[in-house]
Amino acid sequence: MTEDTTLVPEIEALGDRLSQAKQSISRRFIGQDRVVELVLASMLGGGHALLIGLPGLGKTRLVETLSTVMGLNGNRIQFTPDLMPADILGSEVLETSDDGSRAFRFIEGPIFCQLLMADEINRASPRTQSALLQAMQEKEVTIAGQHRPLGVPFHVLATQNPIEQEGTYPLPEAQLDRFLVQIDVPYPDRSTERDILIATTGSSEEASTEVFTAPELLAAQALLRRMPVGDAIVEMILDLVRACRPEDPSAPDIVRETVSWGPGPRAAQALMLTVRAEALLNGRLAPSPEDIMAMAVPVLEHRMALSFAARARGERLTNVIEQVASSSLRVQAAA
């Protein structure tokens, strides 16, 4: 793909703004730079992110900080087993006016925002989880036969606790596929945890400042889609995604032996967007094979499943994806 040199100043300027955004976020969400980059990559790609981590690792704090830094109107929903779809989407109520006439009025639910935090999304019933399906894909909801657009832009950042299984409902594959990336939030290292301890237990805390506005984020998303992607990178993305499907002729033995089902075309679309964002966040004008390696696990892990035998052997999808990605990139480099 031919590089458009007129984009260079715009891409460089956006890279500087993103550096400012990361600095602003780090005032309240200390350390975990990779987690911040992945969340920003999902927003630049116009998608949603699933944050998986133990309680107390700052997932809620991160989403609240992003709302401020990116200049978005944010809402938070605490998902519980008794939560109903109307609690998310809103509902129509019958009102009686002073003259005795009656009419329905729609009361918007918390989903009518630009940045929605779905906290502990797997605690809600499948019926309630499905209320997000149309919203996440089409950026609108249908209530009482009327299509109602959501905020522009619209992003869902959902959280899950990986060890708590009692009273939870695993997300269906169709909903997992609507998340652009899955982000594992690890424990901080010792020095980061020390900084967190000092910064959050004093009489005051640092505050983040707004770096983007909603229109500027939309412009950044449009610019991202105009970034050049070389033909070799496109072929690498296709090779990787197809090699992760056990029924595909190009699938290596490790995939055939361990994977039950693989990623669909939406995974390739997600990789095309996120490798551009990865390059942008690291000051490059176009994506490279290293960007594919960096985004392979976050984009593919929640779009695949291990077979029962592989789980019994203790296999991990992360290792499978990394091996397949390394092999695919080596084959392309040699071609």
Q: Give domain status of residue 221, yes or no.
A: no
Amino acid at 61: R
pLDDT at 204: 78
Range of the domain at 87: 1-213
* Domain boundary, last residue among 213, 238, 257: 213
Secondary structure class of 115 (helix, strand, coil): strand
The CB-side HSE value for 329 (13 A sphere, CA atoms) comes to 15
pLDDT at 1: 47
Residue 208 and residue 98 in one domain: yes
The CB-side HSE value for 68 (13 A sphere, CA atoms) comes to 16
* Domain boundary, last residue among 187, 213, 239: 213
Residue 249 and residue 311 in one domain: yes
Residue 141 and residue 274 in one domain: no
The rounded distance, in Å, linking the Cα atoms of 309 and 67 is 42
Q: Which helix (H) or strand (E) holds 112?
A: none
Q: Give domain status of residue 220, yes or no.
A: no
Residue 194 and residue 76 in one domain: yes
Q: Give domain status of residue 218, yes or no.
A: no
pLDDT mean for each 10 residues of the chain (335 residues): 70 93 92 93 95 88 92 93 91 81 86 94 90 90 87 93 78 91 92 89 84 95 93 93 93 93 94 96 91 95 93 92 86 64
In the chain, the number of structural domains is 2
Ramachandran angles phi, psi of 44, nearest 5°:
-65, -35
- Residue 75 exposed, middle or buried by CB count within 10 Å (0-12, 13-18, 19+): middle
The rounded distance, in Å, linking the Cα atoms of 259 and 155 is 30
Q: Could you tell me if 287 and 279 are in contact, meaning their C-beta atoms sit under 8 angstroms apart?
A: yes
Q: Give domain status of residue 19, yes or no.
A: yes
Ramachandran angles phi, psi of 332, nearest 5°:
-65, -40
Residue 77 and residue 183 in one domain: yes
Residue 180 and residue 263 in one domain: no
pLDDT at 2: 46
Q: Give domain status of residue 101, yes or no.
A: yes
Residue 33 and residue 153 in one domain: yes
Q: Could you tell me if 21 and 211 are in contact, meaning their C-beta atoms sit under 8 angstroms apart?
A: yes
Q: Give domain status of residue 144, yes or no.
A: yes
Residue 197 and residue 240 in one domain: no
The rounded distance, in Å, linking the Cα atoms of 278 and 38 is 8
pTM flag (> 0.85):
yes
The rounded distance, in Å, linking the Cα atoms of 156 and 74 is 10
DSSP string, 54-103: -TTSSHHHHHHHHHHHTT--EEEEE--TT--HHHHHEEEEEEE-TTS-EE
Q: Could you tell me if 10 and 223 are in contact, meaning their C-beta atoms sit under 8 angstroms apart?
A: yes
Residue 165 and residue 277 in one domain: no
Beta-bridge mates of residue 90: 108
CATH number, domain containing residue 331? 1.10.8.80
CA dihedral in degrees (289, 291, 293, 299; nearest 10)? -130
8-26 and 265-281 helices, crossing angle to 10°: 80
Nearest to 244 by CA among 225, 275, 270: 270
Amino acid at 113: C
The rounded distance, in Å, linking the Cα atoms of 328 and 331 is 5
* Domain boundary, last residue among 213, 243, 261: 213
Give CA separation, 102 vs 93, 94, 97, 108, 328, in Å: 10, 7, 6, 19, 64
Pairing assessment for the beta strands 74-78 and 115-119 based on DSSP bridges: parallel
The rounded distance, in Å, linking the Cα atoms of 159 and 122 is 8
Residue 55 and residue 202 in one domain: yes
pLDDT at 300: 96
pLDDT at 57: 86
CATH number, domain containing residue 35? 3.40.50.300
pLDDT at 211: 94
Residue 190 and residue 301 in one domain: no
The rounded distance, in Å, linking the Cα atoms of 298 and 303 is 10
59-69 and 33-44 helices, crossing angle to 10°: 50
